[in-house]
Structure 1
């Protein structure tokens, strides 16, 4: 009787039918539920995550020059900036992941766990990130050279055989921003008139808020005026180059249209790309140790041809203390004067000869061949008959670096101007060599 009173208020439950299916049971999100989570930021990143290796790599760099530039000192007022190693690590990791925008990196520092781990609670903004990225080209050049030297000294890389190749990268200038000489003069006059008008409005307008807006417009007008002036200076260079070419090939130059310069990126030039199209681009020269896929040096060129760039590349690596015995380039670099000069300096240039106009044997000796060119023809003819053991096959491994450059964002530049384009190329070179250092070190210890 007591048991009946104890359970008499329980609701009646339906009995499941034999052989039937019950109601669906699911786990649904409960976003309004309050929960307490206590964890260190360092515990949220796996111990073997690659970003830890990047941070360890940056901690080993010599960044004393960047520390000397810090104005915030003990006993003096001023807001302390972010540590230089943090800024370098953020841009190296962003480059590895193909992030080329300071605004995008700023968002990642707030929302992405890996970037938050790198920041370690240090706040970021895109102005600081953007300014740091382009402010220290000399430091980046030194870091690239020191990194290569360290790998050579450690026996991970040999500079006995080097390769050079050009990588055409789309510039930040639009195709519609190119103007001819007459149009540039009109645009400059209009820009100067606008600057003067806005300046007068700022000085006479009593409203402070509106005055700030007009000042911003005036600053934008001044920047446009400066870009147009830079385009005019570039136009003078293009016209001088056209006059030089007319002296040697007047008929071909006569067929070409009047030169044009961009009002957004004056140093960019319309170049024929790998797909056959013509776009505003920069010709990025990358010199590497192809057997190890390590970048030794970089440079920026604005011409659409690689011809004649072999000697400047060799001189660049010689200035860094390397004297390769073999220098591998593709057919676009082939120039007899460079081959003779390299031979005189004890360097063998390996590059395929161009096709002759009359279909004759390009490997056959010519009357005007020097000692170096004659030796080059014999070497390339013998190299053509080889297969797996051919030295020139190493040049193909340089293409892996070009592929990595595309993967890391070197498809279209987010920065304008030759200097800034070189800076973006240097960030890629350091990030690429860093990843190669990790791989080569792992192979050496395996």
Structure 2
């Protein structure tokens, strides 16, 4: 078909006048996005004067970080690349925690693109390896800073340490549910891992080819790490068996317990009942706080799914922290045991904990046969209106857990109880810094 027949119905278009053709094509400024642009940036003006990151930096500036600075080898005229300031790394993670950023890679990207983090860095480059190592490697420093900040708040009269509340929150572990194995399976996998390690070790020693040798060395290292995780799982399995045996001796119900299992990826994680009613690999994070001010005074991470018996360890920890043992300790109903209440009574601590309901329908606050002086005083205290009103203030400590959930403390990205404790300490210190600023402002 000819072109004239195909477009025959279209109106004729007038040709441009000769004068317009002679002028040439129009010159336009089109975007060229593949070019490299150099810009002059005033880093100080990237954020406003009232930006929250300035408050975090002002806190970090006044800290004594000599413990970390003493580890730096690049000093004076000695050779070596200058180290990244520990104050910068501390401020970066405090700011990231307050915004729900828990990934070192995500924080590295923010330091390149986000104005607040670019202001903190001030032209200093960071990488995710450095950020990840710093996050989990300074738990002792974070605990010390938590105590020092708490002591400063108490000295300023902003926090009452005579009444503390304790509560636990279960945080999903990094281990998968399918990583839990029984003893026979663990033994089988461990034997396979040991055989792989021996084979790879022989290959590395026999070959001299550098590139292939590095590949085999990396494979051998991965096999050794898997072998170490399997051995840790076996150790955890033995602890679970011992704990179950002790529990069965106490209860003596005659039921045959299920065969225990341990995780091959995170041996410290345990399957726990979560708040939603399901069972997941998790850690039990115990938090003691000044409930009225929502300030964390101490925390501990355990692999025990039940809160029973965890009140006394937290009180013993509180003895060595600012304020010492409190006069009043508020806990949920699952924490109370007669032994712990008697111990607290002997230490001068009044426990506020709702008693469990009796199977026979009797008043649980009435004295019972075998009650010691501490338990008798506790029952009378919880039967009084003043005691019930005092216990109601415990619910304020739940706001700390809610704030941590908003900061995305829902599932951990690290493995091992020590690393988990370091991550939770970041949340506790960040909570206290921001809450302390609010208390001073109020």
1:255-404 alignment runs, 5 A limit: 256-320=257-321, 321-383=323-385, 390-404=389-403
1:209-288 alignment runs, 5 A limit: 209-251=211-253, 253-254=255-256, 256-288=257-289
What are the ranges of 5 or more consecutive residues in structure 2 without an aligned counterpart? Answer: 1-17, 21-28
Q: Contact 2:381/2:387 (CA < 8 Å) preserved in 1?
A: no
Q: Contact 1:326/1:348 (CA < 8 Å) preserved in 2?
A: yes
Kindly provide the CA deviation profile for residues 338-392 of structure 1, in whole angstroms up to 9, marking residues without a partner as x: 1111111111100101122222211111021111111111111113896xxx111
Alpha carbons of 1:65 and 1:253: their partners in 2 closer, same or farther (altered >3 Å)?
Answer: farther
Q: C-alpha separation between the residues in 2 aligned to 1:385 and 1:63?
A: 44
Alpha carbons of 1:371 and 1:39: their partners in 2 closer, same or farther (altered >3 Å)?
Answer: same
Residue equivalent to 1:421: 420
Secondary structure, aligned partner of 1:332: coil
> Which is worse superposed, 83-92 or 39-48?
39-48
| One of 138, 141, 145 as aligned partner of 1:139 | 141
Deviation (angstroms), 1:172: 0.8
> Which is worse superposed, 93-102 or 287-296?
93-102
Q: Contact 2:161/2:290 (CA < 8 Å) preserved in 1?
A: yes
Deviation (angstroms), 1:281: 0.6
Secondary structure, aligned partner of 1:331: coil
Q: Contact 1:58/1:89 (CA < 8 Å) preserved in 2?
A: yes
Q: C-alpha separation between the residues in 1 aligned to 2:166 and 2:62?
A: 29
1:68-147 alignment runs, 5 A limit: 68-147=70-149
Q: Contact 1:340/1:372 (CA < 8 Å) preserved in 2?
A: yes
Secondary structure, aligned partner of 2:334: helix
Alpha carbons of 1:128 and 1:225: their partners in 2 closer, same or farther (altered >3 Å)?
Answer: same
Residue equivalent to 1:204: 206
| One of 167, 175, 178 as aligned partner of 2:177 | 175
Alpha carbons of 1:385 and 1:164: their partners in 2 closer, same or farther (altered >3 Å)?
Answer: closer
> Which is worse superposed, 180-189 or 129-138?
129-138
Secondary structure, aligned partner of 2:351: strand
Q: C-alpha separation between the residues in 1 aligned to 2:79 and 2:112?
A: 28
Q: Contact 2:352/2:387 (CA < 8 Å) preserved in 1?
A: no
Q: Contact 1:306/1:332 (CA < 8 Å) preserved in 2?
A: yes
Q: Contact 1:245/1:253 (CA < 8 Å) preserved in 2?
A: no
Q: C-alpha separation between the residues in 2 aligned to 1:411 and 1:46?
A: 31
Q: C-alpha separation between the residues in 2 aligned to 1:213 and 1:428?
A: 39
Secondary structure, aligned partner of 1:285: strand
| One of 136, 157, 160 as aligned partner of 1:158 | 160
Alpha carbons of 1:252 and 1:418: their partners in 2 closer, same or farther (altered >3 Å)?
Answer: farther
Q: Contact 1:148/1:296 (CA < 8 Å) preserved in 2?
A: yes
What are the ranges of 5 or more consecutive residues in structure 1 without an aligned counterpart? Answer: 1-8, 12-27
Alignment TM-score, normalising by the size of structure 2: 0.90
Root-mean-square deviation (CA), in Å?
Answer: 2.0
Residue equivalent to 2:13: none
Q: Contact 1:169/1:282 (CA < 8 Å) preserved in 2?
A: yes
> Which is worse superposed, 38-47 or 181-190?
38-47
Kindly provide the CA deviation profile for residues 141-198 of structure 1, in whole angstroms up to 9, marking residues without a partner as x: 1111111011001111110100000010011111000111111111111111111112
Q: Contact 2:97/2:426 (CA < 8 Å) preserved in 1?
A: yes
Deviation (angstroms), 1:409: 2.4
